[in-house]
Structure 1
Amino acid sequence: MERAHTAEEFIAALRALRICSGLSYRQLEGRAAARGDTLASSTIATALGRATLPREPFVAAFTRACGLGETEVQRWLDARLRLALGQQPPGPRTEPVSPGTDEQATPDTAEADPEPQSGHRNRQMRLIAAAAIGAGAALGIQLLLSALSAPHSTTTATHPVRGLSILAVGSWAQIHPARTPRLCVTEGRDRTHHYATAIAAQDSCAQAAPPHTYVEPVGENLVQIQWHHPKYGIGCLTLLRDGPGRDLIEPRDDCAEDNPAQQFRIEPIGPPASAHFLLRPAATGQCLSVRDQDTAEGAEIVEGRCSGARDQEFLITLIPPA
Structure 2
Amino acid sequence: MSGPFSAPPHPDGLTTPAEFVAALGRLRQWSGLTYRQLTAAAKASGDVLPSSTIAGVLGRTTLPREEFVAAFVRACGLGEAETARWVAHRKRLAAGMTLPADPPGATAGPDHSPVPPLQPGQDDRPDQAGRFEPGGLDGREHALPADPAAPGEPAGPDGDTVRPETRALRRFAMAGAGVVVLLLAMGALLAQLPVSWAGGDARPSASPAAATAGSGRTPPDGWYHIVPSHVAGRDLCVGEGRERSKRTDRHLAVQRPCRDVVPDTYLHAAGGAHEIQWHHPEEGVGCLTVDEALTGPGALIAPADCSGAAHQRFLLKPAGVGFALHPLHSELCVGALYGEADVAPGAELAQKSCTGRPDQVFLFRPAPAPTWTPR
TM-score, scaled relative to structure 1: 0.53
**Letter paired with 2:312:** Q
- Structure 1 residues 233 and 95: alpha-carbon distance in aligned structure 2, compared to 1, 3 A threshold: same
1:234 to 271, 280, 285: 285
Per-residue Cα deviation, 1:29-87 (whole angstroms, up to 9, x for no partner) = 5855442269xxxxxxxxxxxxxxxxxxxxxxxxx8xx5687341317958x9xxxxxx
**Would the aligned equivalents of 2:265 and 2:279 in 1 still touch at CA under 8 Å?**
yes
2:316 to 245, 254, 266: 266
Q: State yes or no: 1:180 paired with 2:228.
A: no
Which residue in the other structure is 2:257 paired with?
204
The structural deviation recorded for 1:196 is: 2.9
**Letter paired with 1:309:** R
**Letter paired with 1:269:** A
The structural deviation recorded for 1:310 is: 1.1
CA separation in 1, counterparts of 2:66 and 2:362? 41
**Would the aligned equivalents of 2:335 and 2:349 in 1 still touch at CA under 8 Å?**
yes
- Structure 1 residues 192 and 320: alpha-carbon distance in aligned structure 2, compared to 1, 3 A threshold: same
Which residue in the other structure is 1:36 paired with?
67
Q: State yes or no: 1:225 paired with 2:276.
A: yes
**Would the aligned equivalents of 1:248 and 1:302 in 2 still touch at CA under 8 Å?**
yes
Which residue in the other structure is 1:282 paired with?
328
- Structure 1 residues 174 and 133: alpha-carbon distance in aligned structure 2, compared to 1, 3 A threshold: closer
Which residue in the other structure is 1:301 paired with?
349
Which residue in the other structure is 1:164 paired with?
218
**Would the aligned equivalents of 1:171 and 1:216 in 2 still touch at CA under 8 Å?**
yes
**Letter paired with 1:231:** E
Secondary structure class of the residue paired with 2:363: strand
Secondary structure class of the residue paired with 2:231: coil
- Structure 1 residues 203 and 95: alpha-carbon distance in aligned structure 2, compared to 1, 3 A threshold: farther
1:129 to 185, 191, 199: 185
**Would the aligned equivalents of 2:18 and 2:62 in 1 still touch at CA under 8 Å?**
no
**Letter paired with 1:262:** Q
CA separation in 2, counterparts of 1:279 and 1:213? 15
Secondary structure class of the residue paired with 1:261: helix
CA separation in 1, counterparts of 2:18 and 2:63? 15
**Would the aligned equivalents of 2:315 and 2:325 in 1 still touch at CA under 8 Å?**
yes
CA separation in 2, counterparts of 1:192 and 1:127? 55
- Structure 1 residues 29 and 288: alpha-carbon distance in aligned structure 2, compared to 1, 3 A threshold: closer
The structural deviation recorded for 1:319 is: 3.1
Which blocks of at least 5 consecutive residues in structure 2 are unaligned? 1-16, 22-55, 70-93, 100-117, 125-134, 140-170, 191-205, 371-375
**Would the aligned equivalents of 2:219 and 2:364 in 1 still touch at CA under 8 Å?**
no
Which residue in the other structure is 1:141 paired with?
none
1:248 to 266, 275, 300: 300
The structural deviation recorded for 1:284 is: 1.0
The structural deviation recorded for 1:131 is: 5.5
**Letter paired with 1:268:** P
* Equivalent residues, number: 208
**Letter paired with 2:277:** Q
- Structure 1 residues 231 and 94: alpha-carbon distance in aligned structure 2, compared to 1, 3 A threshold: same
**Letter paired with 1:286:** L
- Structure 1 residues 68 and 262: alpha-carbon distance in aligned structure 2, compared to 1, 3 A threshold: farther
CA separation in 1, counterparts of 2:344 and 2:189? 54
Which blocks of at least 5 consecutive residues in structure 1 are unaligned? 1-20, 39-63, 82-89, 98-122, 135-153
The structural deviation recorded for 1:194 is: 2.9
Per-residue Cα deviation, 1:134-163 (whole angstroms, up to 9, x for no partner) = 9xxxxxxxxxxxxxxxxxxx9x89x9x961
- Structure 1 residues 320 and 237: alpha-carbon distance in aligned structure 2, compared to 1, 3 A threshold: same
Q: Percent identity at matched positions?
A: 29
The structural deviation recorded for 1:247 is: 0.9
Per-residue Cα deviation, 1:194-227 (whole angstroms, up to 9, x for no partner) = 3331100010011213x1111111122x111111
The structural deviation recorded for 1:95 is: 6.1
2:268 to 216, 237, 244: 216
The structural deviation recorded for 1:174 is: 1.6
CA separation in 2, counterparts of 1:261 and 1:194? 23
Secondary structure class of the residue paired with 1:302: strand
Which residue in the other structure is 1:150 paired with?
none
The structural deviation recorded for 1:267 is: 0.6
CA separation in 1, counterparts of 2:369 and 2:331? 31
Secondary structure class of the residue paired with 1:179: helix
**Letter paired with 2:313:** Q
Q: State yes or no: 1:321 paired with 2:336.
A: no
TM-score, scaled relative to structure 2: 0.46
